Copies of this chain bind each other. A is one copy, B any other.
């Protein structure tokens, strides 16, 4: 197939006519599909049902240290759950971990909120500052950006590279601007690109010398064990250890959860940081809550005995997800590989594929898909304020639809990509 950019106006018009005809046919099918959210599919949830039978009426409900998980207490979680979450998040010492409620997002929210309302480590609460800024590697996770936007924090785009955020830019901002208080990171199989930070990137993070004493790296290790392949797996350095080595033990908050390991929304979440940070956080947590759900912590610790069990379980997830990722990637390659109208990274883990369209096409593609019954993540969503400066990035979430639905949705997607690209090219010729 001829790359679109090499086509003449007449060729493009002919192509457009054919694509439009096909688009009309697709539209007539009345599809109702959704590739917008990183939700596990039913098979993945069925797989983890054993979790629900681990604790029953006859069960010993004592944690290994003897406390009764059914009663109040143990604000920072039970030790066996700390160990499990430390292993999953790639954190060396379970004592550096607190285990909390059913999601890591709220733990991140609370971390930002605490700094806003009361300040951390004796620093001025952010609500008293005229200007607070966060660095946002882009494309990134929309819900991160929504949190910072909610607190009126100014967000600064940092371009992603194949080995992580542009660290020259990160270093410049963090060391020079005291208003820069944080950076959102998904260091492994990043949302949405599936990029893992290189060892050099992690070490440069750990070596940061922030202008602001209350600058923290918000390290959302959401896909820590979420590999798609047995043979090719990304691993990242333990940021907490690296920060300790670099003499900055307090500079990072690590977050993780079992949401996409056990059950979405009914898992357990955790946070890891230095003792000094955790001590302050616990003081403030104690105002908000008496304790988290230790029964669910115990359930998880007993079901996922050790990392071998977790890894075996994650392989089953991968067996369900991998064919879906490959189906999308293969169709992208087959239909768009030679057309020069978009690019994508083949992720080795995580929950998303990022498609980068020609500049100025993303919104149009997403709208066309929507009009024909396929919901994609809103164009712009992976950027602060929902503004993609190039209007080119589209996040594809292959996990939830069935194989057939996915095939139909992806077929429509590539059609819309072609159509929007032709329209764009023709527009440029006017």
Contacts and interface: CB of A to CB of B under 8 A. Distances in A.
B265 A71 contact: yes
A269 to B, nearest CB: 10
Given A71-B263, A72-B264, A101-B102, 18 more contacts: A37-B72, A40-B71, A45-B70, A49-B61, A52-B57, A53-B56, A70-B265, A72-B259, A73-B265, A109-B288, A113-B113, A118-B150, A147-B287, A147-B288, A150-B284, A150-B287, A264-B290, A266-B293
Nearest to A400: B71
A101 B266 CA distance: 10
Nearest to A75: B265
A244 interface: no
A70 B116 CA distance: 33
A265 B288 contact: no
Interface of A: 37, 39-40, 42, 45, 48-50, 52-53, 55-59, 61, 68-73, 101-103, 105-106, 109-110, 113, 116-118, 127, 143, 146-147, 150-151, 259, 263-266, 284, 287-296
A296 B105 contact: no
Nearest to A37: B72
B266 A106 contact: no
Contact of A265 (B39, B48, B259, B292): B292
Closest 8 CB pairs of A and B: A266-B295, A109-B288, A45-B70, A127-B127, A102-B293, A53-B56, A265-B291, A70-B263
A106 B289 contact: yes
29 contacts: A45-B70, A45-B71, A53-B57, A70-B264, A71-B265, A72-B264, A101-B102, A101-B293, A103-B290, A103-B291, A105-B288, A105-B289, A106-B288, A109-B287, A109-B289, A110-B288, A113-B113, A117-B127, A117-B150, A117-B151, A143-B290, A146-B287, A147-B287, A265-B291, A265-B292, A266-B294, A266-B295, A293-B293, A293-B296
Contact of A49 (B57, B146, B147): B57
A42 B289 CA distance: 22
Contacts of A40: 71
A69 B266 CA distance: 9
A114 to B, nearest CB: 10
Give this chain's copy count: 2
Nearest to A101: B101
Contacts of A284: 150
Contacts of A56: 49, 52-53, 56
Nearest to A125: B127
A377 to B, nearest CB: 14
A356 to B, nearest CB: 26
A46 B101 CA distance: 23
A116 B294 CA distance: 30
B116 A117 contact: yes
Contacts of A110: 288
Contacts of A259: 72
Contacts of A55: 52
A375 to B, nearest CB: 14
A68 B263 CA distance: 11
Contacts of A106: 288-289
Given A53-B56, A57-B53, A150-B287, A102 B266 contact: no
A49 B296 CA distance: 14
Nearest to A150: B287
Q: A68, A146, A290, A296: which has the most chain B beta carbons within 10 Å?
A: A290
Most chain B CB atoms below 10 A, which of A45, A58, A116, A287: A287
A119 to B, nearest CB: 12
Contacts of A49: 56-59, 61
Contacts of A72: 37, 39, 259, 264-265
A285 to B, nearest CB: 9
Nearest to A102: B293
